[in-house]
Structure 1
Amino acid sequence: MDFGDRLKLCREKKGYTQKFIAEKVGIKNNTLSSYEANKRQPDYDTLKALADLYEVSIDYLLTGDEYRVSSDEMWKELLDPKTELFFKDLKSAPEEKIEELIRFWEFIKERDK
């Protein structure tokens, strides 16, 4: 089950319509539909609002893990558009580039001590 499926399942378990949720969260109905179809991903604030409405954790919506509850601050940082773009690029990078990036980051940390 992926993010969109979990989102839709949560909505249906609560008996809510897409229109109701969209109004509550402050997004357009077609935006919510895109989330449920895995065509788009919500920003942190929208994701937090959805998790609160459905009474589940952000961890559950994103990973399906019902028992892990990471801090909201961690998710806010990871879902920041700048950070998200970095991780998106990193996921598709070859292993040697990732190792190079780690070495570069270690250099920066040492330099700034």
Structure 2
Amino acid sequence: MDFGERLQELRKEKGISREELARALQVSYSAIAKYETNVRKPDQETLKKIADYFDVTVDYLLGRSNHRQLTRRDERDIEKIIEETRHRIENTEGLLLDGEILSQEDVDAIINAMRVGLEMAKLRNKEKYGRKKKK
């Protein structure tokens, strides 16, 4: 299923019109129509707004996964890894890049990138192994 079909399916499941979705996302009606007919793709910011609005992942919207969202356990697992990593970074003398200590802003950016990567890995594993995988 492509992006346009997924968007239309989600909108209909929620029982809202293109106009209502356009207002909620602060885009034009024609933008929604073009997204649903695959004439145009949303930018990254709009794609994230759509995913948040429908409570699904961006990968699901793009057809890269059939899992709409992570489970609470998945989210807890990811947060545990993130917090352990943050703790390790903050309890060292500093994380270096090219001999310079990274700023807190840089560390936060790295942590956010890790979170996205871990979420994608969890979803891909669900796709690959389904519910049979145990750990």
Q: TM-score range by the shorter chain?
A: 0.5 to 0.7
CA distance in 2 between counterparts of 1:45 and 1:58 reads 11
- Given the two structures, how large is their TM-score scaled by the length of structure 1? 0.58
Paired residue secondary structure (2:27): coil
Partner of 1:71: 116
Unaligned runs of 5+ in 2: 71-114, 118-135
Paired residue secondary structure (2:22): helix
> Cα RMSD between the aligned structures?
2.5
1:60-109: CA deviation from partner (whole Å, max 9, x where unpaired): 0002513387828xxxxxxxxxxxxxxxxxxxxxxxxxxxxxxxxxxxxx
Partner of 2:57: 57
> What code does the residue aligned with 1:29 have?
Y
- Given the two structures, how large is their TM-score scaled by the length of structure 2? 0.49
Paired residue secondary structure (2:65): coil
**1:55 Cα deviation from its structure 2 partner:** 1.1
CA distance in 1 between counterparts of 2:29 and 2:64 reads 24
Distance 1:16 1:64, change over 3 A: farther
Unaligned runs of 5+ in 1: 73-113
Report how many residues are paired: 74
Q: How does 1:61-100 map to 2 (within 5 A)?
A: 61-67=61-67, 71=116
> What code does the residue aligned with 1:25 have?
L
Paired residue secondary structure (2:39): coil
1:10-53: CA deviation from partner (whole Å, max 9, x where unpaired): 01001111101101111000111000000000001111111111
